[in-house]
Amino acid sequence: MPRVGVAADGRAENVGVLVEGAPRYDSRMPPLESPVHAVTAEGEESRFLNRELSWLDFNARVLALAEDPAVPLLERAKFLAIFSQNLDEFFQVRVSGLQEQLAAGLRSRSPDGLDPLGQLRAIRARVEELVSRQAAIFTKEIVPALEDVGIRFWRWDELSDDDRARLHSVFEEHVFPVLTPLAVDPAHPFPYISNLSLNLAVMVRDPKTGDERFARVKVPPILPRFVSLADGRGFVALEQFIAAHLDVLFPGMEILENYPFRVTRDADFELEDEGEDLLEAIESVLRRRSKFGHAVRLEVDSHMSEEVLGLLCRELDLSEHDVTVVDAPLDLGGLWALHGLSRPELRDEPWTPQTPAVLGGTAERSLDIFRLLEQGDVLVHHPYDSFATSVEAFIDQAARDPHVLAIKQTLYRTAGPESGIVKSLISAAEAGKQVVVLVELKARFDEQANIERARALEEAGAHVVYGLVGLKTHAKILLVVRQEPGGIRRYCHVGTGNYNPQTASLYEDIGLLSADPDLGADLTELFNHLTGYSHASTYRRLLVAPGTMRAGLIERIGREAAKGAAGAITMKMNSLVDPDVIDALYAASRAGVGIDLVVRGICCLRPGVPGLSDNIRVRSIVGRFLEHSRIYRFGTGGDDAEHWIGSADLMPRNLDRRVESLIPVTDPRLRARIDEILAINLADDVLAWELEPDGSWRQVPTVDGVDTHLRLEELAVARAQATARVADGRG
């Protein structure tokens, strides 16, 4: 059977492979040339775009940043790394799920009309195209450009004798002790290949007997992906470094051939019984993820022999369709290390988040956030506004204030133990305050970190809750209860992003700080629901999922549809998948409502289709910062519009299987700030892409040079400078 590979120039290659045994999917998998367009069972083009292909299109937009010569060189390398890591997660979760559906004989179609087989076929074609493009960017663009600035990727046979001698010493002292060659013979079964591990497949021959054997050497993940030369400006891929020393690992044997390979496994385990202790259940899932997930992808070097490839496919129970041939080093996620080089001229200029004017305080007096919030709500926009001087400062003041009785907070993706937020919560608990922290242990790939933070909080005396059975708690909410002369008062924060200072410097997010009594009452009821047995069917200000959120949003879409051409809807989110919401937007478009959608990632809505979505425009902003905020505006802006922010994307998982919250922003000053953010996003012609009716994405041609990230940085600096002028009497 042929093995279809992809060269760096994008051409398909038939290179042939012998794979013994019955492959899992061969008998059902159509050839690559089969059409991949989404069609309904009746053969008509679907009104929805495919979720998985739309995600791959987002990753293609990430790849385009690596291709862009206007992007600083080390940032381009970083985007190649992000592309690789994104693709790893896609195979671990999405592709593995489709393969399981196919293996179970399920033929149900997704809303776009494709069954699991059709989706896998389309994914395979798109991934091969993107991986070949990534390899070409690395080998033909990034590597030569790095060499021009004194950073070179060396092959072992290109190194000088001095460099080899030094690296021999490095190998003996730091690498050899952690390597374990594993032979495969009648006495040694094929070893387990762990998820995302880089390995060398080695063929050796015994010169005495002439027997040829296969062995596997795991490339230790604790070692740097690329080994640095003495001058710090040259690198050798770790697998090449190890391959050059195989004679040390197999003394007395003849090394015939060696090839790098990498295996991706299913990492999307469901809890078998959520009635058991959730902490123990999650720890069990983590052990199973690292050991027992079935293989879903095999990445191999383009020079691998047919014999070795056949052996790997057979032992891993994979078919030719699960093989990705890479004409570049495997696991380019390791390029993140290059981004840390001391070459600031090759990176984006560093951005220093600004302290919002209202949170600045004075030289004579530190800011009292509680007194500030008595005067009105405060909107913060990260990373342009400082997370440290807003959200972290709010929690820190609450932890230190002797009048604060309780702090309640959700944590979805936590930072390290040095996190100021975690330290403040621990300090508050140790001081005797009632601290309740809902730690979401089911936040995929952050489970271990969340377990560690949960235990640290429990040891300090905080009440740690792990959420609701069957639901992930994704809402970003914080409640502070304070005793004041007039009685109990509640202070709140509701945001779009995680309480994580690391991601707050990279992710674009919005948060609202407020002392609004109705919001405080809503959050009290929501926390009681999350930690106890109470249940509020309606809230004063919040829309909550599951429950009121989908219906509330669809109702507001319907109100705009009733206005006809006078209606307007603007939404900004990460993903738009939910069929009910999409159909409501289609109905509003047919009623004449102008609809602008800014969707960073997945979008299953098909815009600009005559008679269906003529009045809908979809764009995506992809650049230096990860667009992460969710904003839903109904109306043209200003006083006649409703502005909502919160944690929820418009996906079935968010609306049905997660606890999410949205809050209206009612202060005219803050609504104007949100209008400004949306206006800049819609005017962008540097970072923006537009979605076409056929599902393809087109980069917006640059005319005015509006870069969303640069423009918002400029506005943040201008606000800070204006505040400084007022403070020193120059304003």
CA–CA separation, 117 vs 624, rounded Å? 36
Q: Which of 321, 381, 382, 474 is catalytic?
A: 474
Q: What is the dihedral of CA 191, 196, 197, 198, to 10 degrees?
A: 120
Residue 648 one-letter amino acid? A
CA–CA separation, 214 vs 205, rounded Å? 9
Which region, left, alpha or beta, applies to residue 48 given φ > 0 means left and ψ of -120 to 50 means alpha? beta
Cis amide linkage into residue 72, ω under 30° from 0? no
Helix ranges (DSSP H) in 650-698: 652-656, 668-683
DSSP state of 489: E
> Is 535 considered catalytic here?
no
Find the distance separating the first CA and the last CA of the chain, reported in whole Å: 76
Angle at CA of residue 541, ends 539 and 543, nearest 5°: 70
Backbone angles phi, psi at 646, to 5 degrees: 170, -160
CA–CA separation, 524 vs 235, rounded Å? 55
Angle between helices 668-683 and 708-727 (to 10 degrees): 140
> Which of 578, 558, 577 lies closest to 569, judged by CA?
558
The pair of structure tokens assigned to 602 is: 């997945």
DSSP state of 623: S
Q: What residues have CB less than 8 Å from 548, skipping those under 6 apart?
A: 537, 538, 539, 542
Angle between helices 447-459 and 420-430 (to 10 degrees): 30
CA–CA separation, 601 vs 571, rounded Å? 13
The residue written with tokens 């992906």 in the block is: 225
Kindly write down the DSSP assignment for every residue of 47-85, as one continuous string: SB--HHHHHHHHHHHHHHHHH-TTS-HHHHHHHHHHHHH
CA–CA separation, 584 vs 118, rounded Å? 27
Give the SS3 label for residue 186. coil
Active-site positions?
A: 474
